[in-house]
């Protein structure tokens, strides 16, 4: 088991498993024949997944424009979850096919908010790609169009995801064992 910062990390999804799945997701996205595709990476957690997924998209001849939105959700897993835009995208989404990329879909509050925001701004469509789906945690009717893996109900880290700002750099998705 890898040891990072003195903690044992159990590998849930390895780097090679994720890379294979990213290529499959890119092919699923390509099959939809979006026009003028605008990919929006939801920061911070999705930055590594988005970076790998857009390169997989290149491998299947997609050339999306890429933007970033920094969204913060307080108590996302609770009924009081409030979502705010901390840093917005720079371009107009009106009339465009938008693909939001995020790390985990849990309650669905973060991505429901982001999707409604893009549709309110006149996006032609707004699809959602997530690396991990914790379906058992859903509190909205939202579902993702592209899902990397169904995720068991553990707090996971790595591949962009953190606990208390740590472990984003891990090349795999894992679970911190012990007291972290
Ligand atoms: P929700 O779908 O609005 O409840 O929130 C999903 C967001 O919560 C994700 O984008 C992550 O930022 C965060 N999150 C949920 N579960 C985990 C986890 O296991 N590890 C790290 N972040 C998580
Ligand atoms: Mg997030």
Does residue 102 line the site of ligand 1, with CB under 6 A?
Answer: yes
- Residue 86 pLDDT level (bands cut at 50, 70, 90): very high
DSSP string over 32-86:
T--SS-EEEEEETTTHHHHHHHHHHHHHTT---EEEEEEEEEETTTSTT-EEEEE
What is the mean pLDDT of the segment spanning 146-155? Answer: 97
pLDDT of residue 77: 52
Does residue 46 line the site of ligand 1, with CB under 6 A?
Answer: no
**Is the overall model pTM greater than 0.85, yes or no?**
yes
Does residue 155 line the site of ligand 1, with CB under 6 A?
Answer: yes
pLDDT of residue 180: 46
- Ligand 1 nearest atom to the CA of residue 102, by list position: 10
What is the mean pLDDT of the segment spanning 142-166? Answer: 97
In the three-class reduction of DSSP (H, G, I as helix; E, B as strand; rest coil), residue 116 is classed as helix
Note the pLDDT tens digit of each residue in 41-82: 999 999 999 999 999 999 999 999 999 999 988 765 555 568
Residue 64 and residue 76: Cα distance in Å, rounded?
29
Element counts in the chain: helices (H) and strands (E): 3, 10
Domain of 78, in residue numbers = 3-176
- Our count of domains for the chain comes to 1
**What CATH number does residue 113 fall under?**
3.40.50.2020
């Amino acid at each position: 088991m890898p040891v990072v910062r003195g903690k044992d990390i159990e590998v849930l999804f390895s780097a090679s498993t994720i890379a294979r799945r990213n290529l499959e997701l890119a092919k699923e996205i390509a099959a939809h024949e979006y026009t003028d595709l605008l990919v929006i990476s939801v920061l911070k957690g999705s930055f590594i997944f988005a970076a790998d997924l857009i390169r997989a998209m290149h491998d299947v001849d997609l050339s999306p424009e890429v933007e970033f939105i920094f969204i913060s959700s307080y108590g996302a897993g609770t009924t009081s979850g409030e979502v705010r835009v901390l840093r917005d995208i720079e371009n107009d989404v009106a009339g465009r096919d938008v693909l939001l990329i995020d790390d985990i879909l849990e309650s669905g509050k973060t991505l429901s908010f982001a999707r409604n925001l893009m549709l309110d701004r006149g996006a032609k469509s707004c699809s959602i790609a997530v690396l991990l789906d914790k379906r058992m945690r859903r509190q909205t009717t939202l579902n993702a169009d592209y899902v990397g893996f169904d995720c068991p109900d553990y707090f996971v880290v790595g591949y962009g995801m953190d606990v208390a700002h740590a472990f984003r750099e891990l090349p795999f998705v894992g679970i911190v064992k012990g007291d972290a």
